[in-house]
């Protein structure tokens, strides 16, 4: 160790620097953090991914359900019609193309002239139609039509689900809901649990009794009953007329209820753990010392108590993430979570549940992503414990 | 100490009373009483039928009256009848509560016996390959939804390698001697216990590991080593004992669920537990059953929390409740 | 270490490959048949049983006067003959200015309860007395109430005259008029009849369900554990001769995802109609055929009518062109082919093909094939103009937007819902999905008409039943009428109401048919409800089960359980 390094060690470092360098030493924690950041960016860029790949998470193809990975299938007739409709609406003149088409085809329901293009697009498989079009006279607009027909083939890297939707892009979009739910619950649990637990543990007495009996009550509340009641509540009666009233009747209504439920039921275990540890810590000498020195309670709790309960707190919070991702999906069984067709890892997993023997991959893929998330968060938690917990900091 | 316990028991009584009313109220707030649900299933019900049934079930009375009726029957020592099955509640729930207890207790025991040593081992070997393997095992247990784990176990151990029955509580339709019956019950218990404990093993391992790491970082461990105490003694007396507080909290929480039933595991394995009964009783407004289940679960939570508080004092004598 | 792993792996492979794909040795025999049900049952008191699983099982132990058979025809069971005006066993007469009917029912000679006591008209009379007692929570009292009096023949206690208080054409369709064993239940009823629900709680069906005297069917209950299983054994006193299978065990396996695993591991031999979900059955059927497994997966289109109720108070939906556009835009054959493998037929209206009143004649009703562009044109006509965002707007700038609701957690419905959302999206309608748990959905949303747009659910009705409760003007639920009635769309057509009033009293078959066809015309023409498909009943049976047929209506296959038998597996193997 040369002089310079020695100097560096002896220098007083700001807290965050110590934390950051300690954290960086925990290799798996860094990997975990990268994975989480990766998921976060995936969810931020989901629409861009969708635009680049040309895949739409809601685009159905019901005659190609449960396709295996790496399959190429033709899009559904309704989407072909819509593609033709978009082409016809682009303002160009397709009279010549329609004339040419009518010359070769008979209209099924002779209604309007454009219908011939729709009928052609939906009648046969795209590759057959492309062959047919190759022998067409070179009229204006033919190339547009060929381009449209060319788009009728879709490649599904991870196969398709129960409605023939692309699994990959649904997993990408599912990241949004699942990661958000995971993070949100983690923060809510840590925040509420820490406050309730430390107040109860530090002050004891009536405050402790009240807060802890409240926690007990929430733990033992029949959650199913609460969920049904919440799903039946007409939000309009509660928040109508307030600034929040825009939520009523919008797509956000059930999400709003979901957030409420998730936060309400997330923190009890953390509160209990924090309180239990504080009971022991507050009797230790350094707290006595701080008290004697005249430190304020808030100061003691924040700087002396909380860092010492960080270990169980982090474990509880990071372990809860996997559960909350699954809980979100369970909520939608009661109409409380996000509504179909919005994908989330949880609801993809649950929807695959009945078909476990038929299409196991539909469940395994979101399951693996949930596993990866749980692992990452837990390693980040371990890293933070090493970094923040005063006892683990190597001096 | 005695006055502390008495105080807490009084608190417990108050909480139970308040919560029972709150839950009764919540149940009446659920839209769709049993009669509504009958209508939705049967277009032939007339409005006279509806009125008659509502009156018969007492659904036309105000909540307070109904709650009071319920409380007075409970206080007279009668749990009442299940509305769905028309049998006395204790007759309906008793055997199932025992089944649930057997299942949960076995699972809890198995997971504690496996998880504590694993967690301690991981903490002592922190950062090694062994630590990572144990952690990975824990994460997998936590992340697999219980339904999946259960069904995979059934497919593997009941269909591919037919060692255990796919579902049920015992073999039906045969007469067994006591010894055979015991063996039979155990055979039916293996898969549900396995699937339940795999999940809690993960949780317990993680908590044990983290608490142990923290405890082993204390100065007194170094002192103890310097004094030349034997390593196992240090781990158990100085390390593990100081890691106990979070473990007590978590275990108390787990134990308070002993009678609540693991609904998913129980239904997947068609195990005759209390979980699905309670679920159904809530869905079908079977007040007497649902409320009893609820009272049991509140009492368990409160009692085990009290027990945890007492054990905190044992684990760390500095903690006192005066 | 590596050696151990390798040997375990090899052992596993051997185990896996030696499991035979088609094994006749595991097939059940006439000794015992184990049936899986996915629903709970309560108890077998026919006055109070309301769960589907109980009804399914009850028919193994109890019979009524008549039943609808697999060909949807009425067939006498306990009765010797079904009385009718034509066969002279029934007659119309007038009493105090009201037209009434008298019908003679005669019970088969060897009808006995499981303890050997004769089953007579007294048991029916007693059942009626129990049903009408104000303390008994029977759900459908109408069945018993329509009979004003039962007069027992003094010389023959098995012969009695039912006096009906109204002259309805279907007076003789009383399949839910059960008998109760008076010799066992009378003392209990007398003791507890003043106490609300007292009889039900103390009835022998509840306190001692294994008493054979309670049952008159081909089997009696010998063991019953609520929520778990029931064991049925042959009833030596059954009037129709001994059943062929010695013992039937029914097991509750409430998680449908594990039914298949249970079947293949031998915990059960057969899955009843209350079992697999449609998707599971389709997938299992593929596996059965692909791997040659020894099961039959039976599909039978049923009377369950899946449909969309349109709330006609919604200003957008008041325009019949919008409603017609909604129907034209749904590719129903595509839906049933893609999602149901063509095994659940598309619906035309509220009557199922099994119903004798059914018609799909385009001269009588309005038929809507899939015409997406026709739908678009109808919307153009109704002044809903397509804008660049792909949605339609009216002159006030309002977007054509609908909320579709259904029961959360019902996977098939949620699939169909998303499919519909996609189809309507393609004609420029924005569809919002909002689902609720069944309790909330049926408890306040449909029956108080709180859905604003479209509600998806199913009705089930028996063949030839009057749809008045869901179609008449006076059956629209309102605050004033205490939310009674099931006309949830709020459809009011005076002519339909008038026709349905007449229907019950019309004794001429052809005229009844004309009435119902006119109703169907209005129903399909004005589209208050969009028909989707008729659900299919599903069951899985071992390949050697004979004499079994899935009926497709609410009278279960167990009504003919005495005909079931299991062919000897060894003989089958030799074929």
Domain-by-domain residue ranges, chain C? 64-192, 217-294+543-573, 304-535
Give the separation between CA A343 and CA A345, rounded to whole angstroms: 7
Residue written as tokens 């017609």?
Answer: C324
CATH assignment of the domain containing A257? 1.10.3720.10
Residue C196 zone, left/alpha/beta (φ > 0; ψ -120 to 50; rest): beta
pLDDT(C18) > 80: no
Q: Do C418 and A354 touch (CB under 8 A)?
A: no
Q: What is the pLDDT of residues B113-150, one digit of tens each?
A: 999 999 999 998 888 899 999 999 998 888 888 888 88
Domain assignment present for A34: no
Residue C550: Cβ within 10 Å count: 20
Provide the angle, in degrees to the nearest 10, between the axes of the packed helices C121-132 and C182-192. 20
At C73 the three-state DSSP class reads coil
Provide mean pLDDT across the span C121-128. 94
DSSP states along C239-305: TT---SSSEEEEEE---GGGHHHHHHHTS-SEE-SSS--HHHHHHHHHHHHHHT-SEEEEEEEEEEE
DSSP A355: G
Neighbours of chain C (3+ CB pairs under 8 A): A, B
Q: What is the pLDDT of residue C5?
A: 55
Nearest to B203 among A209, A319, A392 (CB): A319
- A312 and B26 within 8 Å at the Cβ level: the answer is no
Ramachandran class of A209: left when φ > 0, alpha when ψ lies in -120 to 50, beta otherwise: alpha
Rounded to whole angstroms, the Cα distance separating C475 from B81 reads 35
Domains contained in chain A, number: 2
Whether ipTM tops 0.85, in short, is yes
Inter-chain CB proximity C439 and B37 less than 8 Å: yes
Q: What is the mean pLDDT of residues C308-329?
A: 94
Task: Flag whether A314 is in a domain.
Answer: yes
Q: What is the mean pLDDT of residues C525-548?
A: 93
Identify all chain A residues contacting C432, using CB atoms and an 8 Å cutoff. 251
Taking the domain C304-535, which CATH number applies? Answer: 3.10.105.10
Please give the Cα distance from A45 to A42 (Å, whole number).
Answer: 5
Asked if A62 and C418 come within 8 Å (Cβ–Cβ), the reply is no
Most confident of A227-241, C10-24, C178-192: C178-192
Q: Which tokens hold the place of B173? A: 């339709």
Mean pLDDT of B280-303: 89
Q: Is the pLDDT of residue B189 over 60?
A: yes
User: In this structure, are A203 and A146 located in the same domain?
Assistant: no
Q: Assess whether A98 and A179 both reside in one domain.
A: no
- The mean of the pLDDT values for chain C is 89
Q: Which residue on chain A is closest to B318 by alpha carbon?
A: A283
What's the rounded Cα separation, in Å, for the pair B166 and C258?
A: 8
Express as a percent the part of chain C with pLDDT over 70: 95
* Contact indicator for C352, C303 with CB cutoff of 8 Å: yes
**Who wins on pLDDT, C528 or C461?**
C528
Chain C residues in contact with B50 by the CB 8 A cut-off are 484
Indicate if A218 and A274 belong to the same structural domain: yes
Same-domain check for residues A371 and A248: yes
d(CA C40, CA C50): 11
CB A283 to CB B135 under 8 A?
A: no
Least CB–CB distance from B282: residue in A224, A326, A389: A224
Q: A287 with A313, same domain?
A: yes
Please tell me which residue of chain B has the smallest CA distance to A284: B318
3-state class (DSSP) for residue A304: helix
Secondary structure element (H or E) that encloses residue C150, with its range: strand C147-152
The answer on pLDDT for C295 being more than 80 is: yes
- Please report, to the nearest 10 degrees, the dihedral formed by the alpha carbons of residues B95, B96, B99, B100 taken in order: -150
Kind and range of the H or E run holding C422: helix C411-425
- Same structural domain, A96 and A193: no
Could you tell me the residue range of the domain that residue A205 belongs to?
167-388
Confidence at residue A251, expressed as pLDDT on a 0 to 100 scale = 66
pLDDT tens digit sequence for C219-255: 999 999 988 999 999 999 999 889 999 999 999 998 8
Residue B91 above 50 pLDDT?
Answer: yes
pLDDT at position C218 over 90? yes
Predicted confidence at residue A93, as pLDDT, reads 80
Q: Higher pLDDT residue, C541 or A120?
A: C541
Whether residue A395 is contained in a domain is answered as no
Question: Min CA distance, C411 vs chain A (Å)?
Answer: 7
Alpha carbons C358 and C516: distance in angstroms, whole number: 9
Does residue B68 register a pLDDT over 60? Answer: yes
Q: Supply the pLDDT for residue A31.
A: 92
pLDDT of residue C199: 92
> Quick check: B275 contacting C, CB < 8 Å?
no
Q: What is the pLDDT of residues C142-169, one digit of tens each?
A: 889 889 999 999 899 999 999 998 888 8
pLDDT of res. A363: 87
> At a CB cut-off of 8 Å and minimum separation 6, what does A170 contact?
A57, A161, A343, A348
CATH assignment of C217-294+543-573, given 2.160.10.10, 3.40.50.300, 3.40.190.10, 3.30.200.20?
A: 3.40.190.10
What are the chain B neighbours of C485 within 8 Å (beta carbons)?
A: 47
Q: What is the pLDDT of residue C21?
A: 43
Non-local CB neighbours of A375 within 8 Å, separated by 6+ positions: A32, B136, B139, B143
- What's chain B's length in residues? 322
| pLDDT(C367) > 60 | yes
Give, in order, the Cα–Cα distances in Å from A140 to each of A90, A99, A143. Answer: 14, 11, 8
CB contact under 8 A, C434 and A163: no
The pairs formed by B85-92 with CB atoms below 8 angstroms and a separation of 24 or more are B85/C42, B85/C43, B85/C206, B85/C226, B86/C42, B86/C43, B86/C45, B86/C48, B86/C197, B86/C200, B86/C201, B86/C203, B86/C206, B87/C43, B87/C201, B87/C206, B87/C226, B89/B288, B89/B289, B89/B292, B92/B277, B92/B289, B92/C226
Q: pLDDT by residue (tens digit) across C413-469?
A: 999 999 999 999 989 999 999 898 888 898 888 888 989 899 999 988 788 888 888
Q: Give per-residue pLDDT as tens, C64-97.
A: 999 988 888 899 999 999 999 989 899 999 988 8
- Give yes or no for a contact between C259 and C271, defined as CB atoms under 8 angstroms apart: yes
Element (H, E) at C424: helix C411-425
Q: SS3 of C524, please?
A: helix
Task: For residue C19, name the pLDDT band (cuts at 50, 70, 90).
Answer: very low
d(CA C455, CA C416): 12
The pLDDT-based confidence of A239 (bands split at 50, 70, 90) is low
Q: What percent of chain C has pLDDT over 90?
A: 57
Q: Is residue C486 within 8 angstroms of chain B, CB to CB?
A: yes
CB contact under 8 A, A357 and C283: yes
Instruction: Give yes or no for A293 touching C (CB within 8 A).
Output: no
Cβ atoms of residues C188 and C208 within 8 Å: no
Q: Under 8 Å CB-to-CB from B211, ≥6 apart: which residues?
A: A311, A312, B123, B243, B244, B245, B246, B247
Residues A280 and A368 in one domain: yes
State the count of interchain CB pairs (< 8 A) between A and B: 150
Which residues of B, range 124-163, sit inside 8 Å of C by Cβ? Answer: 147, 150-151, 154-155, 158-162
Domain annotation covers residue A58: no
Q: Which residues of B touch C465 (CB under 8 A)?
A: 44
Q: How far apart are CA C295 and CA C284, in angstroms?
A: 10
Q: How far is A218 from chain B (nearest CA, A)?
A: 9
Q: In the listed set A151, A181, A206, which residue is the last one of a domain according to the structure?
A: A151
Q: How far apart are CA C433 and CA C348, in angstroms?
A: 24
**Domain check: are A90 and A205 in the same one?**
no
Predicted local distance difference test score (pLDDT) of residue C9: 53
CB C332 within 8 A of CB C346: yes
Category of C72 on φ-ψ map: left (φ > 0), alpha (ψ -120 to 50) or beta? left
Domains in chain B, ordered, with CATH?
2-75 (no CATH), 89-315 (1.10.3720.10)
**What pLDDT score does C78 carry?**
93
Task: Give CA–CA dist C525/C321, Å, rounded.
Answer: 11
Model confidence at C23: pLDDT above 70? no
Of B36, B159, B276, the CB nearest to C443: B36
Same domain, A370 and A312: yes
Tell me whether the omega of the peptide bond preceding residue A351 falls within 30 degrees of 0, making it cis. no
| C-alpha to C-alpha distance for C10 and B129, rounded to whole angstroms | 28
Q: What angle do CA C381, C385, C388 make, to 5 degrees?
A: 150
Is the distance from CB of C137 to CB of B57 less than 8 angstroms?
yes
**Residue C2's pLDDT is what?**
54
**Residue keyed to tokens 């709790």:** A301
pLDDT digits (tens, 9 = 90+) for A82-91: 888 888 887 7
pLDDT of residue A215: 92
Can you give the pLDDT at residue A125? 82
Hey, are the CB atoms on B172 and C40 less than 8 Å from each other? no
Residues A376 and A277 in one domain: yes
Among the residue ranges C345-349, C518-522, C550-554, the one predicted with the least confidence is C550-554
Q: How many CB pairs under 8 A join B and C?
A: 161
Tell whether the model's pLDDT for residue A328 goes beyond 80: yes
Q: What are phi and psi of A127, to 5 degrees?
A: -70, -35
Beta bridge partners of C460: C304
Rounded Cα gap, residues C83 and C168, in angstroms = 13
Chain B contact set for A391 (CB, 8 A): 214, 217-218
Average pLDDT of span A215-238: 82
Mean pLDDT, rounded, of chain A: 83
Q: Which CATH number is C64-192 given?
A: 3.90.76.10
Return the sign of the alpha-carbon dihedral for residues C314, C320, C321, C327. positive
| Three-class secondary structure of residue A73 per DSSP | strand
Please give the Cα distance from A114 to A209 (Å, whole number): 76
In whole angstroms, what is the distance from residue B45 CA to residue A340 CA? 33
> Quick one: angle between helices A15-25 and A361-388, nearest 10?
130
What confidence score (pLDDT) does residue C16 get?
45
Instruction: Identify whether A158 is part of a domain.
Output: no
Q: Are residues A224 and B279, on separate chains, in Cβ contact within 8 Å?
A: yes
B275-283 and B89-124 helices, crossing angle to 10°: 120
């Amino acid at each position: 160790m040369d002089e310079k390094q020695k100097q560096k060690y002896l220098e007083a470092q700001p807290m965050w620097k110590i934390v950051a360098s300690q954290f960086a030493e925990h290799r798996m924690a860094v990997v975990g953090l990268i994975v989480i950041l990766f998921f976060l960016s995936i969810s931020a860029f989901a629409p861009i991914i969708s635009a680049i790949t040309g895949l739409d998470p809601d685009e159905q193809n019901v005659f190609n359900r449960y396709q295996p990975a790496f399959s190429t299938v033709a899009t559904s007739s309704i989407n072909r019609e819509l593609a033709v409709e978009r082409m016809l609406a682009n303002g160009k003149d397709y009279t010549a193309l329609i004339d040419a088409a009518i010359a070769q085809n008979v209209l099924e329901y002779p209604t309007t002239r454009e219908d011939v293009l729709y009928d052609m697009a939906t009648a046969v498989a795209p590759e057959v139609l492309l062959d047919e079009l190759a022998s067409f006279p070179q009229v204006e607009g033919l190339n547009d039509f060929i381009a449209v027909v060319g788009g009728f083939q879709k490649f599904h890297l991870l196969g398709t689900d129960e409605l023939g939707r692309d699994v990959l892009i649904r997993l990408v979009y599912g990241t949004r809901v699942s990661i958000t739910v995971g993070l949100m619950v983690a923060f809510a649990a840590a925040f509420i649990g820490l406050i309730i637990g430390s107040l109860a543990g530090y002050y004891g007495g009536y405050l402790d009794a009240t807060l802890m009996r409240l926690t007990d009550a929430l733990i033992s509340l029949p959650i199913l009953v609460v969920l049904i009641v919440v799903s039946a509540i007409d939000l309009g009666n509660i928040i109508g007329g307030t600034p929040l009233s825009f939520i009523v009747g919008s797509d956000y209504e059930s999400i709003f209820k979901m957030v409420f439920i998730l936060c309400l039921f997330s923190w009890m275990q953390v509160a209990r753990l924090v309180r239990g540890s504080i009971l022991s810590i507050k009797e230790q000498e350094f707290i006595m010392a701080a008290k004697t020195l005249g430190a304020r309670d808030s100061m003691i709790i924040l700087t002396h108590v909380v860092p010492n309960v960080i270990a169980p707190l982090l474990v509880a919070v990071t372990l809860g993430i996997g559960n909350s991702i699954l809980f979100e999906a369970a909520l939608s069984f009661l109409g409380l979570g996000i509504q179909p067709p919005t994908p989330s890892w949880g609801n993809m997993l649950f929807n695959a549940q009945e078909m476990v023997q038929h299409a196991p991959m539909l469940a395994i893929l979101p399951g693996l992503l949930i596993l990866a998330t749980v692992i990452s968060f837990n390693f980040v938690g371990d890293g933070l414990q090493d970094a923040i917990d005063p006892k683990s900091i190597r001096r | 100490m005695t006055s502390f316990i008495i105080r807490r028991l009084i608190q417990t009584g108050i909480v139970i009373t308040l919560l029972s009313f709150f839950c009764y109220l919540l149940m009446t707030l659920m839209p769709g009483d049993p009669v509504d649900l009958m209508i939705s299933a049967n277009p032939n019900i007339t409005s006279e039928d509806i009125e008659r049934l509502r009156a018969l079930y007492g659904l036309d009375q105000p909540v307070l009256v109904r709650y009071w009726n319920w409380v007075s029957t409970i206080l007279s020592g009668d749990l009442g009848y299940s509305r769905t099955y028309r049998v006395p509640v204790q007759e309906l729930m008793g055997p199932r509560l025992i089944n649930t207890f057997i299942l949960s207790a076995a699972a809890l025991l198995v997971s504690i016996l496996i998880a504590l040593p694993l967690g301690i081992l991981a903490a002592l070997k922190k950062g090694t390959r062994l630590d990572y393997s144990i952690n990975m095992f824990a994460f997998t247990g936590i992340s697999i939804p219980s339904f999946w784990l259960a069904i995979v176990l059934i497919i593997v151990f009941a269909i591919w390698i037919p060692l255990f029955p796919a579902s049920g509580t015992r073999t039906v339709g045969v007469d067994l001697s006591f010894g055979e019956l015991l063996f039979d019950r155990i055979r039916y218990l293996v898969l549900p216990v396995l699937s339940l404990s795999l999940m809690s093993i993960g949780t317990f391992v993680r908590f044990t590991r983290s608490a142990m790491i923290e405890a082993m970082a204390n100065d007194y461990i170094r002192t103890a080593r310097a004094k030349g105490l034997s390593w196992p003694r240090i781990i158990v007396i100085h390390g593990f004992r100081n890691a106990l507080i979070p473990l007590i909290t978590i275990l108390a929480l787990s134990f308070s669920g002993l009678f609540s039933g693991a609904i998913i595991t129980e239904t997947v394995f068609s195990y005759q537990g209390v979980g699905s009964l309670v679920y159904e009783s809530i869905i079908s407004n079977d007040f007497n059953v649902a409320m009893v289940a609820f009272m049991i679960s509140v009492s368990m939570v409160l009692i085990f929390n009290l027990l945890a508080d007492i054990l905190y004092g044992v684990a760390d004598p500095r903690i006192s409740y005066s | 270490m590596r050696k151990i792993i390798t040997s375990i792996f090899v052992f596993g492979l051997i185990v896996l490959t030696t499991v035979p794909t088609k094994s006749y040795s595991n097939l059940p025999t006439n000794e015992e048949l184990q049936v899986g049900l996915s629903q709970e049952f309560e108890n077998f008191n026919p006055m109070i049983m309301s769960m589907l699983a109980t009804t399914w099982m009850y028919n193994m132990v109890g019979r009524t006067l008549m039943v609808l058979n697999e060909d949807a025809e009425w067939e006498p069971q306990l009765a010797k003959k079904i009385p009718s005006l034509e066969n002279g066993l029934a007659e119309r007469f007038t009493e105090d200015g009201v037209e009434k009917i008298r019908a003679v029912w005669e019970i088969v000679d060897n009808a006995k309860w499981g303890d050997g006591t004769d089953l007579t008209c007294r048991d029916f009379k007693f059942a009626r007395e129990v049903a009408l007692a104000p303390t008994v929570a029977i759900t459908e009292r109408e069945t018993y109430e329509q009979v004003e009096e039962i007069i027992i023949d003094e010389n023959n206690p098995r012969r009695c005259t039912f006096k009906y208080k109204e002259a309805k054409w279907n007076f003789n369709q009383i399949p839910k008029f059960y008998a109760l064993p008076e010799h066992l239940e009378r003392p209990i009823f007398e003791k507890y009849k003043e106490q609300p629900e007292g009889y039900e709680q103390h009835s022998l069906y509840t306190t001692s369900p294994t008493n054979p005297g309670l049952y008159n069917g081909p089997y009696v209950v010998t063991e019953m554990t609520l929520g778990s299983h029931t064991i049925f054994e042959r009833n030596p006193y059954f009037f129709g001769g001994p059943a062929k299978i010695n013992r039937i065990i029914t097991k509750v396996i409430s998680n449908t995802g594990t039914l298949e695993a249970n079947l293949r591991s031998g915990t059960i031999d057969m899955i009843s109609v209350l079992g697999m979900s449609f998707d599971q059955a389709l997938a299992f059927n593929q596996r059965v055929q692909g791997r040659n497994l020894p099961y039959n997966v039976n599909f039978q289109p049923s009377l369950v009518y899946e449909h969309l109720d349109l709330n006609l108070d919604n200003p957008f939906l008041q325009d019949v062109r919008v409603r017609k556009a909604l129907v034209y835009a749904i590719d129903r054959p595509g839906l049933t082919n893609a999602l149901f493998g063509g095994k659940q037929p598309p619906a035309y209206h509220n009557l199922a093909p099994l119903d004798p009143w059914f018609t799909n004649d385009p001269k009588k009703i309005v038929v809507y094939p899939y015409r997406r562009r026709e739908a678009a044109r109808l919307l153009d006509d109704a002044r809903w103009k397509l804008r660049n965002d792909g949605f339609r707007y009216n002159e006030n700038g309002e977007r054509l937007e609908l909320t579709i609701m259904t029961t959360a957690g019902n996977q098939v419905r949620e699939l169909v819902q998303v499919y519909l959302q996609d189809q309507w999206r393609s004609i420029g309608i924005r569809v919002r999905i909002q689902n609720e748990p069944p309790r909330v959905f049926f408890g306040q949303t449909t029956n108080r008409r709180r859905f604003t747009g479209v509600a998806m659910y199913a009705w089930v009705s028996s063949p030839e039943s009057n749809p008045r409760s869901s179609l008449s003007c006076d059956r629209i639920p309102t605050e004033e009428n205490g939310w009674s009635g099931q006309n949830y769309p709020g459809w009011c057509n005076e002519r339909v109401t008038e026709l349905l009033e007449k229907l019950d009293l019309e004794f001429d078959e052809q005229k009844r048919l004309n009435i119902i066809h006119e109703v169907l015309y209005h129903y399909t023409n004005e589209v208050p409800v969009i028909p989707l498909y008729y659900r299919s009943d599903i069951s899985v049976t071992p390949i050697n089960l004979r004499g079994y047929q899935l009926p497709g209506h609410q009278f279960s296959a167990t009504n003919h359980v005495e005909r079931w038998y299991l062919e000897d597996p060894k003989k089958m193997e030799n074929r």
